């Protein structure tokens, strides 16, 4: 049986579970979201899971993920966690609101949300479907395309996820810390959240999204996030992927930006056996800023893949991408960054940089920066570098009496610093630096 046929057999297994899944939906089967769900199911029947023959997946072989049939959370006993687990995985030393999802389902028990500005909503998508129906209808699925079976599977089987609504002119006074706790001690589980974040005109906020795992059972997180950043809105979205080492993580984030908006996306990939992150932003008016920052940190035999796409559709906008990889042991990184400048997008300023340090002779990186420019009055640049730690700087530091491991840590810190320093929460910067060295099992600088 060919690889594609094997994948199609797994796809058909997921499809065969739909009738049983639908029977357990209760009231949700009567909402408008169920129409979207059934449409996605129809698409799923015609789509395939990607193989290395697909150009966008040529460096990421999902065969290890396809060895398992992961069970929907509706079919298993609830995963048990406690407050200590949440606290140990939290970023602290600053005020924040907290919302927790366990295997994609909202957990009111562990969520702590203080007083919010009038009409601001932080909650679950399942609740928003009935209580904020018109807002959800207006935005959900508006810009997210179903390109392969992973996205169709999310839209078919997701029942919950994060919902954030910032009305015109409103500001989140405290960062929002979101937990997606995934895994189950009894079953190999599928966590499938669908997230919707809406920042209306002139609003602002900071959202920290933290993916963590429990126990040592294999699990699969398949996430779809849609973010709308309206006129003159300002939004920071900080994703920290700290899944368990036996987990699989597929995440697609689609962003739409309107006039004068500023959007900062940060991706810190520390965990999972296989991780794929797709981030797509459409700059659909003038004077927009879009910033993508990322660090992917691999060890053992981890596979960490980032694909970014910035669509400059209108003039006088700027985008800035800085992605850095630190790869050890036999880990593998993938970076594919695409910038599209359409004919009307004159006065575009677009910058992209991908740099990777290989700490081991067996670590590898596949990097592919892409520029497609159809306008003539633009400033665009991109570049990629691959290498080891700066040997000249290393020997200079060693010549000053600094021991080997500390010298290496100093260079790793310097390499990652500009991405970490771009985070707009000081206490979080310090803790991300700590997490980087803790993950690498090296002396912290």
- Mark whether 99 and 226 lie in a shared domain: yes
Please say if the pLDDT value at position 2 is more than 80: no
| Mean pLDDT within 175-186 | 97
- Give the tokens for residue 95: 């005020």
Say whether 236 sits in a helix, a strand or coil.
strand
Q: Is 350 contained in some domain?
A: no
In the Cβ-directed half-sphere of 118, how many Cα atoms lie within 13 Å? Answer: 2
pTM over 0.85: yes
| Mean pLDDT within 85-108 | 97
pLDDT bin (cut points 50, 70, 90) of residue 4 is confident
- Mark whether 20 and 164 lie in a shared domain: yes
| 395-442: pLDDT as tens digits | 999 999 999 999 999 999 999 999 999 999 999 999 999 999 999 999
State the DSSP code for 53: T
Of 244, 269, 285, which marks where a domain is finished?
285
Of 285, 302, 329, which marks where a domain is finished?
285
Q: Is 253 contained in some domain?
A: yes
Q: Is 255 contained in some domain?
A: yes
Calpha distance 134→128 (Å, rounded): 9
Q: Is 374 contained in some domain?
A: no
Please say if the pLDDT value at position 3 is more than 80: no
Could you tell me how many residues make up the chain? 445
- Mark whether 124 and 272 lie in a shared domain: yes
Calpha distance 201→203 (Å, rounded): 6
Please say if the pLDDT value at position 1 is more than 60: no
| 349-399: pLDDT as tens digits | 999 999 999 999 999 999 999 999 999 999 999 999 999 999 999 999 999
Domain interval for residue 418: 390-445
- Mark whether 406 and 281 lie in a shared domain: no
Q: Is 443 contained in some domain?
A: yes
List C-alpha distances in Å: 423 to 49, 206, 235, 268, 392. Answer: 34, 10, 12, 11, 29
> How many structural domains is the chain composed of?
2
Calpha distance 281→311 (Å, rounded): 6
- Give the tokens for residue 198: 């809406």
Of 263, 285, 307, which marks where a domain is finished?
285
* Burial class of residue 28, CB neighbours in 10 A (0-12, 13-18, 19+): middle
Q: Is 68 contained in some domain?
A: yes
- Mark whether 277 and 408 lie in a shared domain: no
Q: Is 441 contained in some domain?
A: yes
Q: Are the beta carbons of 375 and 408 closer than 8 angstroms? A: no
- Mark whether 276 and 394 lie in a shared domain: no
Range with the lowest mean pLDDT among 4-8, 44-48, 229-233?
4-8
Residue with tokens 């992973």: 150
Mean pLDDT (the chain, rounded) = 96
């Amino acid at each position: 049986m060919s690889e594609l046929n094997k994948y199609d057999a797994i796809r058909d297994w997921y499809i065969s579970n739909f009738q049983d899944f639908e029977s357990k939906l209760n009231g949700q089967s009567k909402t408008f979201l169920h129409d979207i769900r059934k449409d996605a199911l129809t698409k799923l029947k015609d789509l395939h899971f990607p193989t290395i023959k697909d150009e966008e997946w040529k460096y990421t072989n999902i065969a290890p993920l396809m060895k398992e049939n992961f069970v929907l959370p509706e079919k298993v006993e609830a995963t048990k966690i406690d407050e200590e687990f949440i606290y140990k995985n939290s970023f602290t030393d600053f005020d924040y609101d907290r919302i927790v999802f366990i295997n994609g389902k909202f957990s009111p028990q562990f969520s702590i949300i203080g007083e919010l500005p009038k009409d601001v909503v932080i909650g679950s998508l399942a609740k928003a479907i009935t209580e904020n129906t018109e807002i959800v209808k207006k935005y959900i699925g508006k810009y997210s395309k179903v390109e392969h079976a992973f996205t169709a599977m999310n839209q078919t089987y997701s029942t919950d996820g994060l919902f954030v609504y910032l009305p015109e002119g409103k500001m989140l006074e405290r960062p929002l810390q979101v937990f997606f706790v995934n895994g189950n001690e009894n079953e190999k589980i599928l966590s499938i959240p669908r997230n919707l974040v809406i920042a209306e005109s002139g609003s602002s906020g900071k959202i920290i999204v933290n993916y963590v795992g429990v126990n040592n059972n294999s699990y699969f997180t398949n996430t779809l996030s849609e973010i709308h950043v309206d006129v003159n809105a300002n939004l920071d979205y900080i994703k920290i992927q700290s899944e368990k080492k036996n987990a699989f993580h597929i995440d697609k984030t689609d962003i739409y930006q309107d006039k004068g908006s500023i959007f900062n996306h940060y991706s810190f990939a520390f965990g999972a056996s296989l991780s794929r992150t797709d981030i797509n932003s459409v700059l659909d008016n003038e004077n927009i800023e879009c910033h993508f920052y990322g660090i992917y940190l691999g060890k053992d035999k981890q596979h960490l893949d980032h694909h970014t796409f910035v669509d400059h559709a209108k003039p006088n906008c700027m985008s800035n991408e800085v992605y850095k990889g630190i790869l050890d042991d036999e880990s593998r990184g993938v970076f594919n960054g695409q910038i599209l400048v359409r004919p009307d997008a004159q006065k575009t300023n677009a910058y992209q940089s991908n740099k990777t340090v290989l700490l081991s002779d067996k670590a590898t990186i596949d990097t592919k920066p892409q520029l497609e420019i159809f306008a003539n009055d633009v400033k665009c640049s991109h570049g990629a570098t691959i290498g080891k730690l700066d040997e000249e700087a290393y020997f200079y530091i060693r010549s000053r009496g600094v021991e080997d491991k500390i010298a290496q840590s100093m260079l790793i810190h310097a390499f990652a610093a500009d991405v970490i320093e771009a985070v707009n929460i000081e206490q979080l910067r310090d803790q991300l630096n700590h997490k980087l060295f803790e993950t690498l099992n090296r002396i912290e600088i």
